[in-house]
Amino acid sequence: MTLSGNNSNQTQVLMIGGPTATGKSALAVALAKQFDGEIINGDAYQIYQGMDIGTAKVTVAEQGGVPHHLLDIVPPSASFSAAEFQRRAEAAIADIAGRKKLPIVVGGTGFYLNALRLGLPLGTQAASPSRARWQAALAAHDTAWLWQQLAAQDPAAAAKIPTGNSRRVIRALEVIEQTGQLFSAQPPSTPQYDTLVLALTTERAALYDRINARVEAMLKAGLVAEVQAVLAQAPPTAQALQAIGYKELLPYLAKEQSLAEATALIQQHSRHYAKRQLTYFRHQMPAHWLDLIADPKAPAQAAALVSAWRIQGGVHFDEVAR
């Protein structure tokens, strides 16, 4: 890692990401207290009211008096997009920075954080016939086949996009068709903020054990009743009920599956999601990786990074993945 001065006068934004059950919220609160910050939720499902247990939403006590933004902002019957998150988060950052506080965006929805970091034009990308054709092709084949179509046309772009990221693959194919140019030849997006990204991880077996234990704890805390309450406000097809921990309990509540089977699925899907989160942050965002679970020095390392960045600005990393 190298530090260099920042001459851009961009607003500084701290981002904390990584997979579930790695300690993101606790670290965010600790750093907010130390650096006079306020926290912006970057989790796609913690924006929903009444979805507290299954999304591991920070409680009032866990917030420790630190102001939190973009929590509980829409009912579970509402739809919510990355573009809407970006718009609201940008407004929150402007407000927080305008009061001379440090904006801290924390969450595991990597695309939300990256779209915010880069200022991606999400709201202006209208669906095109090309996108619709590739989405139909994906439905008829699979993600590996789709990725191979991109690899055949633009190997450099395919090398940078994970096989399972079908949204990004389709976007690349769409750009190639619309512009007649390789997606890899497009000018890179320029970050709209001076952003320091801290990504949390730990040894894979330990992470999976923590995820399994967290699911058990959620069920004991009343997750089934929470899902029933959400169902009273929104249909089973609602976007909110597609969240892991909620969709798996719908067959159980319909008496189509046992609670043990639903629990196993929640754990399995949570583990798979954690793997996808790790992949995204490693390949899509320039991050400094920390292990709060196994390394007792990690909190101090995080604070040292933030301190240096706040003074000097422009933190750059020699390596973005580990």
**pLDDT (tens digit, 9 = 90+) per residue, 55-79?**
999 999 999 999 999 999 999 999 9
The number of distinct structural domains making up the chain is 2
Q: Are 263 and 235 members of one domain?
A: yes
Counting Cβ atoms within 10 Å, is residue 10 exposed (0-12), middle (13-18) or buried (19+)?
middle
- Among 261, 217, 258, residue whose Cα is nearest residue 20: 217
Domain boundary among 185, 203, 221: 185
Q: What is the CATH number of the domain that holds 51?
A: 3.40.50.300
Q: What is the mean pLDDT of residues 112-139?
A: 82
11-20, 79-88, 127-136: which range is least confident on average? Answer: 127-136
Q: Are 95 and 208 members of one domain?
A: yes
User: What is the per-residue pLDDT for 283?
Assistant: 87
- pLDDT tens sequence across 206-264: 999 999 999 999 999 999 999 999 999 999 999 999 999 999 999 999 999 999 999 99
Q: Are 110 and 39 members of one domain?
A: yes
Residue 305 has pLDDT above 50, yes or no: yes
Q: Are 37 and 60 members of one domain?
A: yes
Q: What is the CATH number of the domain that holds 142?
A: 1.10.20.140
User: Measured between alpha carbons, how far is 29 from 58 in angstroms, rounded to an integer?
Assistant: 10
pLDDT band at 126 (very low <50, low <70, confident <90, very high): low
Fill in the amino acid letter for 166. Answer: S
Residue 321 has pLDDT above 60, yes or no: no
| Lookup: tokens for 316 | 């750059």
Residue 228 lies in a domain: yes
Q: Are 89 and 230 members of one domain?
A: yes
Residue 69 lies in a domain: yes
At residue 86, φ and ψ (nearest 5 deg) are -60, -45
Q: What is the mean pLDDT of residues 156-173?
A: 86
Q: Are 196 and 258 members of one domain?
A: yes
User: Measured between alpha carbons, how far is 207 from 21 in angstroms, rounded to an integer?
Assistant: 7
Counting Cβ atoms within 10 Å, is residue 251 exposed (0-12), middle (13-18) or buried (19+)?
middle
User: Measured between alpha carbons, how far is 303 from 298 in angstroms, rounded to an integer?
Assistant: 9
User: What is the per-residue pLDDT for 312?
Assistant: 84
Domain boundary among 135, 163, 185: 185
Domain boundary among 162, 185, 208: 185
Query: What b/e string do you get for 146-165 counting C-beta neighbours within 10 Å, with b at 16 or more?
Result: bbebbbeebeebbeebbbbb
Residue 127 has pLDDT above 70, yes or no: no
User: Measured between alpha carbons, how far is 211 from 215 in angstroms, rounded to an integer?
Assistant: 6
Q: Are strands 288-290 and 194-200 parallel, antiparallel or unpaired?
A: parallel
pLDDT band at 129 (very low <50, low <70, confident <90, very high): confident
Contact 42, 15 (CB under 8 A): yes
User: Measured between alpha carbons, how far is 143 from 275 in angstroms, rounded to an integer?
Assistant: 17
* Strand residues in 51-203 grouped as ranges (E): 68-69, 102-106, 194-200
Q: Are 47 and 102 members of one domain?
A: yes
Residue 322 lies in a domain: no
Which domain covers residue 151, as residue numbers? 123-185
pLDDT band at 316 (very low <50, low <70, confident <90, very high): very low
The mean of the pLDDT values for the chain is 91
Q: Are 86 and 34 members of one domain?
A: yes
- Tracing tokens 């194919």 back to the chain, one arrives at 173
Q: Are 300 and 276 members of one domain?
A: yes
Residue 116 lies in a domain: yes
Q: What pTM value is reported for the model?
A: 0.83
Residue 147 lies in a domain: yes
First-to-last alpha carbon distance for the chain, in angstroms, is 13
Residue 203 lies in a domain: yes
Q: Are 239 and 162 members of one domain?
A: no
pLDDT band at 121 (very low <50, low <70, confident <90, very high): confident
75-79, 96-100, 255-259, 281-285: which range is least confident on average? Answer: 281-285
Residue 321 lies in a domain: no
Q: Are 12 and 81 members of one domain?
A: yes
